[in-house]
Structure 1
């Protein structure tokens, strides 16, 4: 039995805040199984649950200096785990929406278009055009189309006006359409997320 094993959660947190690795190890040993159980109940996926737990404890170690002085450690870890699960679900939802948008276009595209471009070529062409946008325009476009944020949310996040966001998205779409058309991908103009 180690010295840390006899310490209370609060004493361990106090040591963790000073960068004490033994305190971190004891917290991990005490709580990883419990937190894994909570996360697994939410995700029902063993691998994703393990990833969330790894991220949870990595975040605890990296941000240990920002842990509140007085807290219920198990409650704190549970809230962190729940937030990480919700972020993962949101991220997966946006990725799914983006892929569904691409699938919708592919299903509606003409046979001639599909003969010209397979799915990978299509995604590559679109992504190449997005990556070639100027940095700020690209950032605004991706927040709008890949993360599904509203103009208002983007404006708030980036500290710019909604009108600027609207113009940046419009100009991004215009530039992407122009380059796709110029490169022979005229059929790509119908892509749902470029409307």
Structure 2
């Protein structure tokens, strides 16, 4: 497999896909998401065979890779649900006049404008955290810096964005809720 042998990949795929799919499906309870993650696992094997460790428990390795991908998918879905929940909560509390004044495109444009105005490194860290849903540890490793530095950069970014949105008024209540 590590040498790019297609037959070896086919044998591995045929041997493990059903078992792996079953584990992924049990964790997600969604057929399409389970298929997507299964495809990610096997495409990762095919595209990056050099990352496959020397192990006597290959099934355990595949299960671990799949579990990490499932956890990442759940985390990304959580952020999306938090965002939609904050938007829905604001919509139920806001007056009709306010809702007519503000639409979602304006809100997203204001957020994006504030993110774009951040210093380059701070913006990069913020976007990796909030848009790519990477952990502080993952960002630190990617950028060659410590987890604590990443944490401080994100905190500073949120502080700057909140302040600027508060100063601009109008949609600040919703925007601040979205930037928890």
Class of the TM-score when normalised by the shorter of the 2 chains:
0.7 to 0.9
Partner SS, residue 170 of structure 2: helix
2-structure distance, mates of 1:82, 1:30:
18
Equivalent position of 2:163 in the other structure:
174
Partner SS, residue 17 of structure 1: coil
Alignment deviations for residues 56-77 of structure 1 (CA, whole Å, 9 cap, x no partner): 1011222311222232111111
1-structure distance, mates of 2:36, 2:85:
25
1:175 to 1:137, Cα distance in 2 relative to 1, 3 A: farther
Partner SS, residue 114 of structure 1: helix
1:142 to 1:189, Cα distance in 2 relative to 1, 3 A: same
Partner SS, residue 187 of structure 1: coil
1:70 and 2:55 aligned: yes
Gaps of 5+ in 2: none
2-structure distance, mates of 1:169, 1:80:
32
Partner SS, residue 41 of structure 1: helix
1-structure distance, mates of 2:52, 2:161:
41
Matches within 5 A, 1:89-168: 89-142=74-127, 147=133, 153=136, 157=140, 158-159=145-146, 160=149, 163-168=152-157
Gaps of 5+ in 1: 1-15
Conserved 8 A contact 2:158-2:179: no
1:44 to 1:161, Cα distance in 2 relative to 1, 3 A: closer
1:43 and 2:28 aligned: yes
Equivalent position of 2:173 in the other structure:
190
TM-score by structure 2 length? 0.77
2-structure distance, mates of 1:148, 1:102:
23
2-structure distance, mates of 1:33, 1:62:
21
2-structure distance, mates of 1:194, 1:91:
15
1:25 and 2:15 aligned: no
Conserved 8 A contact 1:52-1:81: yes
Conserved 8 A contact 1:39-1:81: yes
Q: Which protein is bigger by CA-based radius of gyration?
A: 1
- Aligned-residue Cα RMSD (Å) equals 2.9
1-structure distance, mates of 2:150, 2:54:
38
TM-score by structure 1 length? 0.72
Alignment deviations for residues 176-195 of structure 1 (CA, whole Å, 9 cap, x no partner): 444xx3xxxx3211121357
